Amino acid sequence: MLAQKQAEEAIVVSNFTETEHDQGKEAEETQLDNESVLSVKNLLWHGGSAWDAWFSCASNQVAQVLLTLPYSFSQLGMLSGIILQIFYGLLGSWTAYLISVLYVEYRSRKEKENVSFKNHVIQWFEVLDGLLGPYWKAVGLAFNCTFLLFGSVIQLIACASNIYYINDNLDKRTWTYIFGACCATTVFIPSFHNYRIWSFLGLGMTTYTAWYLTIAAAVHGQKEGVVHSGPKKLVLYFTGATNILYTFGGHAVTVEIMHAMWKPQKFKYIYLMATLYVFTLTLPSAASVYWAFGDELLNHSNAFSLLPKSGWRDAAVILMLIHQFITFGFACTPLYFVWEKVIGMHDTRSICLRALARLPVVIPIWFLAIIFPFFGPINSAVGALLVTFTVYIIPALAHMLTYRKASARQNAAEKPPPFLPSWTAMYVLNIFIVVWVFVVGFGFGGWASMTNFVRQVDTFGLFAKCYQCKPPSPTGTGTAPPLHH
């Protein structure tokens, strides 16, 4: 009996190694719960449930983009703004679903080969490598890392832009130096397991900010002589459209969020649920601010700049600053993982050693935020040139190529969803996404956003000390640039 019991225990241990994120994580959590039901570490630090993933996805989708969506509505007009939000939100949810399917496929194939992922975080470029080969790995790595790099840059620029509305004694470039140092502390957060409390708080902060914008605009009422003339120009229209495309493009961290789950198979519809909640924040706030201020938003890409100063607004600014710190960590953590793997530090257990190794990642982000302090235009440029491929085109193409053979479809770890049970229907939808996003998002959107971006550089120059700040008291005949944010 003793020998039989030992043999059963050995089998259990073997199964734990092979299925770390399923039985293994459940067993680990059960053990931790037995040790301390109210353990602070479990409550605040060690997250991997479906709820944790939902909070991470929803919190990561809406950050500083909340403040630029009214600006996008002024470029697009009310009707196009609402329709494109819903359209790209649903499109983004579908491609997040494709990414989750490909992750499960990759993981199931590797587990059949007895590959262990202990102390290793699977990333999107590794999924592409395992399913489609090294060329796809290179493409995925290039687009993902560049997208995350500029996503982190945007957070720093947004921090400086927002704090300026509370304290304009320092210029925005100085605030960028300060917040760059603050955001560098994210090197101490090991992985997405450890964002449980931050994701929860971050979503609460954006929820407050979104409803503050909605209510404050309604209380303010329509400005006298308000005009809603959008859309007026193709450049503005497609710039606004690509900013909305960027809004629902948080997929660069999807695989890392899945990998942090105890049961990644449950992720399939989490992104859609997160997007539906995000609609309740983005649609009312963007529509109400645009209704109140109209075309004036064309020269104010940050909605805070038009709302009257008050304690409520200052609270929203502070909460958004904290959330942008969290979002900076979300965007940078996958970059930290890539860098750790390059220098051979990914398996290191010491948090301090890993933090020290990660610091070189923060420095170029800090530098780029100082070179290009263009908040709204960068959102659109990143959306058109990077999000189009990273979030929409590459996942759709990868899914079609992975299941192009009948044997692959027959042995697929995840079958087509109940609402679209045919492989042919999935192929038709994926082809539509590739063509639409390439032509409209990358083509027209790339042309419009880069045209707008170049105009900002020509007007304000690189290394702008205080991009589109309040102009100083006129002492000459020069014309001050328009207020923006």
CA distances from 144 to 150, 171, 332, 454 (A): 10, 32, 11, 24
Write out pLDDT tens, residues 453-469: 777 666 655 555 555 56
In order, the DSSP letters of 45-94 are: I---SHHHHHHHHHHHHSSTHHHHHHHHHHHH-HHHHHHHHHHHHHHHHH
Whether pLDDT at 242 is above 70: yes
Which of 133-137, 283-287, 445-449 bottoms out in mean pLDDT, i.e. has the lowest? Answer: 445-449
What does pTM read for this prediction? 0.81
pLDDT averaged over every residue in the chain: 80
| Greatest mean pLDDT among 63-67, 418-422, 463-467 | 418-422
Which of 251-255, 283-287, 333-337, 434-438 bottoms out in mean pLDDT, i.e. has the lowest? Answer: 251-255
pLDDT class of 479 with cuts at 50, 70, 90: very low
Report the pLDDT averaged over residues 180-196: 78
CA distances from 461 to 327, 367, 368 (A): 27, 15, 14
Report the pLDDT averaged over residues 38-64: 73
Torsion of CA 179, 191, 137, 99, to 10 degrees: -100
Report the pLDDT averaged over residues 328-341: 86
- Say which CATH architecture domain 48-460 belongs to: Up-down Bundle (1.20)
Whether pLDDT at 258 is above 70: yes
Write out pLDDT tens, residues 364-407: 888 888 776 665 667 677 778 888 998 899 999 999 999 999 99
CA distances from 416 to 90, 99, 132, 412 (A): 17, 13, 20, 9
Report the pLDDT averaged over residues 212-226: 92
Residue 324 identity: Q
Residue 372 identity: F
Report the pLDDT averaged over residues 173-186: 81
Which pLDDT value is given to residue 123?
A: 87
Whether pLDDT at 12 is above 50: no
The pair of three-digit structure tokens given for residue 220, joined into one six-digit string: 């303010």
> H-helix or E-strand containing 128?
helix 124-132
Which of 68-82, 180-194, 454-468 bottoms out in mean pLDDT, i.e. has the lowest? Answer: 454-468
C-alpha gyration radius of the chain: 23
Q: Which residue has the higher pLDDT, 168 or 156?
A: 156
Domain boundaries, the chain: 48-460
Which pLDDT value is given to residue 478?
A: 40
Percentage with pLDDT > 70 across the chain: 81
